[in-house]
């Protein structure tokens, strides 16, 4: 049984597709940002790629955090000063927002920067 | 999912009372509700019911396979953390949201396969020429299964060739015997009970879910 | 379009494929969608025997037959199997018609396995596993490639050696005008 020219081409082509698929697979999800919400008791994490509303409870009341178009922000909070709402949108590595009266802390990061931040903190 | 094995073939207890088309259409009628249920406890209980029914239908369920399926689906979902962080194991953050989505998705798929297992039987006759051709194919399939003992692993091609030559001499191929007509039995009372019970269990669960939430 | 003899041939090859898929269950499977693809053997061989309409009818029969016997007709397994089988059958048919005699069953089988596995990986990531699976599932194309080579070698040997297959081909040749 001998391989003919297009057998060889088919093999090389398949190997190529296999490698491309694998490399493409590695690159997917790499740079997806996320937001971490810290409350008094819990730590929550959400990808910034999906829009959603998150309600968390704190000592003062409820804080509503909105993820929208790859950014996160306090939409409302049951605190007196609303400073957190005025802090606006965050999305990049190391950015943060907080509602101190309600003890809710918000920070964003990307997968790549994650390790650097960790390394710096610990 | 399991192959029919000669000798070890299990009896389809449902076939005694339910006509194949009836089973098929009942199964299809359950599917929409099945997809809309997202309370994990309800899903899990229904999966158990489906597995039990598939067992009654004589299907051997490879539980390990389905554990593995649910496990791998959950694993892949955990890679994208969503929700409350429950634990951190090495680089993985185990989150409540990812865990719930993964398990729910895994249960949905397993349930769908089990549902299909007890709703579809080879005796289900598809209409028209495709149905006729399928019957012919099943007839040949049974013939090959009968001859499979003569196939050896060491001389696979040679022995397979012998069996095929003996069973289907190419020149004479053309008059398949009629596939042994299976006796279709159907019991009206059981059929109604089956429809009410399965329909009630699945659509009822959906109703329950809306009442709870 | 389909004479009785043609229909019998389709039914027989379909049954052959179903039989091979029962044999395949004896092998362990690493993940749900990865198969050796033994059931694909008659579909590869049929390229030599059947004209296009019969060929694609055979593929339909094979998928339907497995779905009925295994009981997966009403589940996602059927959809995956149908898509993968038709995509790979189309690619193999094009390779066979377009590239012979400069291609053997080995190349054809590799292309078929690649197509079928790609279709099933994309479908399973979209509908079941979620985007995170992109990091891992494409690796299984490698396994698919190896089994594709194996099935191709097997098909070529069977086609060269089998007396039954030679007789089937001879008979089909006699009939066609």
Query: C-alpha angle A106/A111/A113, rounded to 5°?
Result: 80
Local structure of residue A90 (DSSP, 8 states)? B
Q: How many CB atoms lie within 10 A of CB C40?
A: 30
pLDDT, averaged across chain B: 85
Of the listed ranges A36-45, B119-128, B148-157, the least confidently predicted one is B148-157
Residues B23 and B110 in one domain: yes
Cβ separation B79–C167 shorter than 8 A = no
- B82 and B99 share one domain: yes
A contact chains, 3+ CB pairs < 8 A: B, C
Q: Please, which pLDDT band fits residue A119 given cuts at 50, 70 and 90?
A: very low
* Domains parsed from chain C with CATH numbers: 4-172 (1.10.1760.20)
Query: pLDDT band at residue B63, thresholds of 50, 70 and 90?
Result: confident
pLDDT score recorded for residue B52? 95
Chain B neighbors of A47, CB-CB under 8 A: 80-82
What confidence category does residue C64 fall into, taking pLDDT thresholds of 50, 70 and 90? very high
Whether residues B154 and B114 fall in one domain: no
At B128, the pLDDT band (50, 70, 90 cuts) reads confident
User: What is the DSSP annotation of chain C?
Assistant: ---HHHHHHHHHHHHHHHHHHHHHTTS--SSTT----GGGHHHHHGGGT--HHHHHHHHHHHHHHHHHHHT-TTSHHHHHHHHHHHHHHHHHHHHHHHHTTS--HHHHHHHHHHHHHHHHHHHHIIIII-GGGGGTGGGHHHHHHHHHHHHHHHHHHHHHH-HHHHHHHHHHHHH--
Return the structure tokens found at B206. Answer: 């959906």
Res C90: pLDDT: 97
Confidence of residue B158 (pLDDT cuts 50, 70, 90): confident
B30 & B104 share domain: yes
Residue with tokens 């067992």: B55
B110 and B203 together in one domain: yes
Summary mean pLDDT of chain A: 82
pLDDT tens string B9-50? 678 888 889 999 899 999 999 999 999 998 999 999 999 999
| Number of compact structural domains in chain B | 2
Same domain membership, residue B153 and residue B59: no
Question: Domain check: are B118 and B137 in the same one?
Answer: no
User: Are B40 and B107 in a shared domain?
Assistant: yes
Q: How much is the average pLDDT of B110-126?
A: 88
- Closest chain B residue to A41, measured at CA: B84
Q: When comparing pLDDT for C150 and B173, which is higher?
A: C150
ipTM of the complex: 0.89
Nearest by CB to C135, which of A6, A18, A26? A26
pLDDT for residue C176 is more than 70: no
Q: Which residues contact B168 (CB under 8 A, 6 or more apart)?
A: B140, B143, C12, C164
Query: What is the per-residue pLDDT for B182?
Result: 60
Same domain, B118 and B44: yes
Q: Residue B142's domain spans which residues?
A: 127-181
Distance from CA of C2 to the nearest CA of A (A): 32
Supply angle C-alpha B114, B120, B124, rounded to 5.
175
Q: What is the pLDDT of residues A81-102, one digit of tens each?
A: 778 888 888 888 888 888 888 8
Rounded CA separation A84/A74 (Å)? 6
- Helices then strands, counting H and E runs in chain B, come out as 7, 2
pLDDT at B146: 80
Same domain, B114 and B45: yes
Domain match, B192 and B118 both: yes
B167 and B193 both lie in a single domain: no
């Amino acid at each position: 049984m001998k391989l003919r020219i297009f057998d060889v081409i088919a093999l090389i082509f398949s190997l190529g597709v296999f490698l491309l698929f694998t490399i493409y697979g590695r690159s997917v999800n790499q740079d997806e940002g996320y937001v971490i919400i810290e409350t008094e008791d819990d730590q929550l994490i959400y990808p910034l790629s999906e829009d959603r509303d998150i309600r968390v409870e704190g000592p003062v009341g409820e804080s509503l955090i909105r993820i929208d178009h790859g950014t996160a922000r306090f939409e409302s909070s049951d605190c007196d000063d609303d400073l957190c709402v005025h802090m606006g949108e965050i999305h990049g590595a190391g950015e943060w927002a907080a509602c101190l009266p309600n003890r809710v802390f918000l920070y964003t990061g990307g997968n790549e920067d994650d390790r650097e931040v960790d390394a710096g903190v610990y | 999912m399991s192959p029919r094995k000669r000798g070890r073939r299990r009896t389809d207890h449902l076939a005694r009372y339910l006509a194949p088309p009836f089973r098929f259409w009942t199964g299809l009628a359950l599917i929409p509700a099945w997809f809309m249920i997202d309370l994990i406890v309800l899903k899990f209980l229904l999966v158990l019911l489906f597995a039990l029914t598939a067992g009654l239908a004589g299907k051997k369920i490879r539980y390990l396979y389905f554990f593995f399926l649910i496990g791998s689906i959950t694993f892949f979902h955990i890679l994208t953390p969503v929700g409350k962080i429950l634990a951190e194991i090495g680089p993985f953050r185990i989150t409540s949201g990812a865990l719930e989505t993964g398990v729910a998705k895994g249960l949905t798929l397993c349930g769908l396969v089990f549902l299909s297992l007890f709703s579809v039987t080879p005796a289900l006759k598809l209409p028209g020429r495709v149905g006729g051709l399928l019957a012919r194919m099943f007839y040949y399939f049974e013939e090959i299964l009968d001859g499979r003992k003569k196939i050896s692993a060491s001389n696979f091609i040679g022995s397979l060739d012998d069996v095929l030559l003996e069973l289907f001499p190419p020149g004479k191929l053309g008059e398949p015997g009629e596939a042994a007509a299976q006796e279709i039995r159907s019991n009206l009372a059981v059929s109604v009970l089956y429809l009410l019970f399965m329909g009630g269990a699945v659509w009822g669960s959906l109703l329950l879910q809306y009442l709870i939430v | 379009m389909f004479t009785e003899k043609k229909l019998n041939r389709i039914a027989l090859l379909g049954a052959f494929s179903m039989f091979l898929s029962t044999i395949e269950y004896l092998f362990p499977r690493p993940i749900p969608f990865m198969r050796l693809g033994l059931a694909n053997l008659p579909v590869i061989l049929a390229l030599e025997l059947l004209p296009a309409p019969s060929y694609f009818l055979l593929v339909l029969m094979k998928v339907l037959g497995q779905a009925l016997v295994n009981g997966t007709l009403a589940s996602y397994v059927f959809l995956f199997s149908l898509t993968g089988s038709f995509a790979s059958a189309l690619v193999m048919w094009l390779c066979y018609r377009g590239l012979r005699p400069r291609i053997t069953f080995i190349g054809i089988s590799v292309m078929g396995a690649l197509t079928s596995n790609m279709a099933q990986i994309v479908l399973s990531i979209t509908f079941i596993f979620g985007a995170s699976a992109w990091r891992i599932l494409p690796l299984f194309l490698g396994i698919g490639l190896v089994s594709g080579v194996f099935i191709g070698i097997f098909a070529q040997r069977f086609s060269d050696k089998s007396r039954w297959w030679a007789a089937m081909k001879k008979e089909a040749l006699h009939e066609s005008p």
